A and B are shown apart, each in its own frame.
Chain A
Amino acid sequence: MLAIETRGLTKQYGAYRALDGVDLRVPAGSVFGFLGPNGAGKTTCIRVLLGLLRASSGEARVLGKSVWNDGAALRAEIGYLPGDVRFNDFWTGRETLRFLDRMRGGRSAAEITRLAERFQLPLEKHVRSYSRGMRQKLGLIQALMHKPAVLILDEPTTALDPLVQQTLFEELRAVAADGRTILFSSHTLSEVDHLCEYVAILRGGKLIEQDRIEALRKRAVRNVELDFFDEAAATSLRWPADFHPGVCGPRSLIGSWTASPQALLQWLATLPLEDVRISEPSLEDLFLGYYDLRPNGKPAANHGAAA
């Protein structure tokens, strides 16, 4: 079952297309990383899911309900942290949370206390006296406090120190263990790698990839480090089109392999190698691969000399 599903979601601003036929599929109960650099369309997509923006075309459903037609009922089941969270400066943290709780039915008093202690946020202070990080904590507490079925977090670790980030990750893991869904938008790849099992990558308003991170790794380029017995072997090497050389040393060569592991092993067997190291790419490698090696979402032409 899908917690979030969009079909052909498009958002057009005049001639500019902020979202271009996005088909996002977030499985229920998953922790789903939503990746892309600034301006890729992540926040636009999230704002459509919240009913803050109206899609130019296409459809968006959360928990099976239309985000536009069933918005009010749906938002009771969503916890949302905006990318740039703002509150009424003249209220205290407690007043802010009490108001939000009352709007959601008033059942979160105990959870508010627990989360405030967990994030060490002084609720009696006015919001105007909060630092940027404290405001972010307040935003996180309000998103988590009613135990929503779907959590949509737009760059939640912004302004949080590493200790609070760890607390947040622990809370999010508890949410995931509870079978609830998290859509986690970020451009910090390490935290998505650390937390998420699924990932979607947006570029220029288009969804260019979505799958389990493990599946992406298996499908993706591998980092290959080759050490040769002598310099002559290294310098005379000719490589297949699926190998993309990077750093070269006198007797070594580091590059990436974009074809199947079997083809890589066949090629390596023909080389006079002293040592070889093959590693799975990090999420960062994957992400950069999508941005650098696959312009327009398609595999790029290989730059290496043909074997």
Chain B
Amino acid sequence: MSLVLIGRFFRDSRWLGLAAISGIFLFEIILAKTISEFDTSAIEAVLKIPFVARAWKTLLGSDVVGMISGTGLASIGAAHPFVYLVSAAVLLSECTRVIVGEIDRGSADMLLGLPTTRVAIYLSSTFVWMAWGAALCLTALLGLRIGVQLSPLFEPVDFPRILALLPNMFALYCAIGGLATGVSAFLTRRGRAVAIVLAYLLISFAVNFLAQIWAPMGWLARCGVLYYYQPLEQVKSGAIAWDDIGILVAIGGIAWIAGLIRYTTRDIPA
């Protein structure tokens, strides 16, 4: 790794990263405020209707009947599509910015003409997107914590239980980041790399969604990374999902290593 490169990559990504952190932080505060105003008895009554309960399960990926607790509702802040969307945007941007973006822009010659190795560039780029991923994960939970403090819910939130989501959430970021970095190393067009990973995530999201209402899709859902991040289930059980974390790290790790091998041996087109 190179500190100079890391400094440069952080600098190039700082506005997007800071905007995403601010956005997620504000979102979590607004979410906490919204949840604090829920009429929980009314929600519980509505959830007793089977169709509504099923619709919620489909949307949130977990059975929410009996989960109308402060901690359960607060955990939505770690799995809301807005958080996914913003985080995925940052990750896709950062993972593709250097590895394929420099080639696409035609500035790779300058970078690779410097006295550094491709391994150092790859590692420095990875360090930066991982750091942004960690910052986004922490921001989501920190925003939730502060939001709940500003707008207390109807019952105390068990924050250690929500904090236990952090490893799984970060593993999901690493899986997406590893995939995006790996795909980038094989391509010469940044837009194509973003499109491929985005399509995979959307399919993963859709299949995960469909698997809730149609059991035969269950096996296919296992091919998507989102299957291995079920925060509501985790909050319910209170245990860290080590198996899911292991699978996510393996998916990201394999793609990342394949990308590293490709990037260090490939031709850089003019």
Of all chain A residues, the one with the shortest Cβ separation from B3 is A102
Given contacts A85-B110, A86-B110, contact A103 B268 (CB under 8 A): no
Q: Let me know if A192 is at the binding interface, CB within 8 A.
A: no
Are A72 and B116 in contact (CB-based, < 8 A)?
yes
Q: How many chain B residues touch the partner (CB < 8 A)?
A: 23
Residues of A within 8 A of B4 (CB): 99, 102-103
Q: Which of A8-59 contact B (CB under 8 A)?
A: 43, 47, 50-54
B266 contacts across to A, CB distance below 8 A: 54
Q: Give the number of chain A interface residues (Cβ < 8 Å).
A: 29
Q: Which of A82, A83, A102 contacts B113 (CB 8 A)?
A: A82
B107 touches which of A43, A47, A86 (Cβ 8 Å): A86
Q: What's the least CB distance linking A202 to chain B, in Å?
A: 16
B267 within 8 A of A: yes
Does A100 belong to the interface (CB within 8 Å)? Answer: yes
Q: A75 near B: Cβ within 8 Å?
A: yes
Are B105's CB and A86's CB within 8 A?
A: yes
**How far is A228 from B234 in the complex, measured between Cα atoms in Å?**
103
Asked if A71 is at the interface (CB within 8 A of a chain B CB), the reply is: yes
Cβ–Cβ contact A54 & B117, under 8 A: no
Q: How far is the CA of A43 from the CA of B106 in the complex (A)?
A: 14
Closest A residue to B15 using CB positions: A90
Return the chain B residue nearest A76 by Cβ. B115
**Do A51 and B116 touch (CB < 8 A)?**
no
* In contact, B267 and A54 (Cβ under 8 angstroms): yes
Complex formed: what's the CA distance from A80 to B120 in Å?
20
Q: Which residues of B contact A (CB under 8 A)?
A: 2, 4-5, 8, 12, 105-110, 112-117, 120, 265-268, 270
With contacts A78-B113, A80-B109, A82-B109 known, what are 10 further pairs, Cβ within 8 A?
Answer: A47-B270, A52-B268, A72-B116, A74-B115, A85-B110, A86-B107, A88-B12, A88-B107, A103-B114, A104-B114
